[in-house]
């Protein structure tokens, strides 16, 4: 089982109490459902990777914590909103009580089985290909 890295724990601990509670809950849920995923700080935020491909991460925004699924637009989940010009989708939280454990677990299982190849995005000159 993969463990949450010290750098991610440090990231969470540097936040306000409310944001830290959200991030700690998200990290624990992600690690439980994706125990084989590599986790690290990537572009300043906690991100989990499967086979070097980013699948889920979170970041502290001004007024919320954003949970981002790189392939989330393909999950067919109305509670996730599209983000950016590729296939990412997000959920935003202002309180840890807003996290629905059943939804989060389902999204994380989909993150394993529905992936677009972000790892090779630059090599393919911005063209995404479906992996699984």
Question: Can you name the residues that pair with 41 across neighbouring β-strands?
Answer: 46
Q: What pLDDT is attached to residue 132?
A: 63
Q: What pLDDT is attached to residue 8?
A: 96
Architecture of domain 6-113: Alpha-Beta Complex (3.90)
Strand (E) or helix (H) holding 57: strand 53-60
Alpha-helical regions (H) of the chain = 6-13, 17-33, 101-113
Contact 112, 123 (CB under 8 A): no
| pLDDT mean by block of 10 residues, the chain; 132 residues | 85 97 98 96 96 96 97 97 94 98 98 86 75 72
Angstrom distance (rounded) from CA 31 to CA 24: 11
């Amino acid at each position: 089982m993969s463990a949450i890295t010290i750098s991610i724990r440090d990231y969470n601990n540097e936040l306000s109490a409310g944001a830290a509670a959200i991030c700690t809950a998200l990290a624990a849920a992600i690690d439980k459902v994706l125990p084989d995923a590599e986790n690290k700080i990537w572009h300043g935020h906690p991100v989990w990777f499967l086979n070097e491909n980013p699948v889920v991460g979170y970041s502290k925004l001004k007024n919320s914590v954003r949970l981002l699924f790189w392939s989330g637009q393909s999950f067919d989940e109305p509670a996730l909103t599209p983000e950016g010009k590729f296939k990412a989708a997000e959920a935003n939280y202002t309180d840890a009580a807003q996290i629905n454990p059943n939804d989060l677990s389902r999204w994380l299982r989909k993150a394993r089985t529905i992936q677009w190849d972000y790892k090779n995005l630059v090599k393919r000159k911005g063209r995404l290909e479906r992996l699984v």
